[in-house]
Amino acid sequence: MVLLGIFPAVSAMYFDWKFFPDRNMTLIGLKFHAGGGETKLVSFSLNVISLLFSFLLVVVCTAILVYKLISKTKWRQEMSGAAPDVKQTSVSRDQKVVKMVVFISAVYIGCFFWSAVSMIISMLVPGYSVVGPNKNMFQTVWSFLLLLEGTNSSVNMFIYLKMSSKFRKVFTETFSFRRQNSVKTR
């Protein structure tokens, strides 16, 4: 989806010789085809809309999931004839799942929200772009934003390790460096 949003902007640009007055040199630089600025605006608008829609979708799906988990927990408590300590264990487990789902959603939105803000700034501030007068600030900001997006991808494993005992067990069994059934040779 993101690639479809970026394609119009990329197709509106091309490399050509360009004079840079601050360096008093002609170098190869990015130029826009006729109407390229409008194409870039449309492209950024599509990306911002898709990103904000994904935030909305994550929030709605998380809310539905949390609601279903809570209602399922209440149903299990009502239908179960188990002892109160067994019921409490089930409730505790379900609460951990709810916390984990909400936390993962919050990390996703927290890491990608700033990309949407930067895209909106790009649409509103003409010089804030790859080729504009504020290109150094643009590149610096996007370097940090890409780092945040990578962090989102990396941190999920640690969230699962911390909050899910089953995931932790399977992870340690899979990546254990100890040989449990090794045969000793003499």
Distance CA 76, CA 86 (A): 11
Distance CA 6, CA 48 (A): 11
**Residue 179 pLDDT:** 54
**Residue 86 pLDDT:** 59
Residue 180 falls inside a structural domain: no
Residue 169 falls inside a structural domain: no
Residue 122 falls inside a structural domain: yes
Contact predicate 70/57, CB 8 Å:
no
Distance CA 136, CA 9 (A): 19
**Residue 51 pLDDT:** 84
**Residue 76 pLDDT:** 78
How many domains does one find in the chain?
1
**Residue 177 pLDDT:** 59
1: tokens are 């989806």
Identify the burial level of 122 via C-beta atoms within 10 angstroms of its C-beta, where 0-12 means exposed, 13-18 middle and 19 or more buried: buried
**Residue 2 pLDDT:** 59
Residue 14 falls inside a structural domain: yes
Residue 171 falls inside a structural domain: no
Range of the domain at 71: 2-163
143: tokens are 């370097």
Residue 181 falls inside a structural domain: no
Contact predicate 138/130, CB 8 Å:
yes
**Residue 40 pLDDT:** 72
Residue 185 falls inside a structural domain: no
Contact predicate 49/2, CB 8 Å:
no
Over the chain (186 residues), what is each successive 10-residue block's mean pLDDT?
Answer: 66 83 88 73 80 90 91 81 64 83 91 89 85 90 93 89 87 75 51
Distance CA 96, CA 166 (A): 12
Residue 184 falls inside a structural domain: no
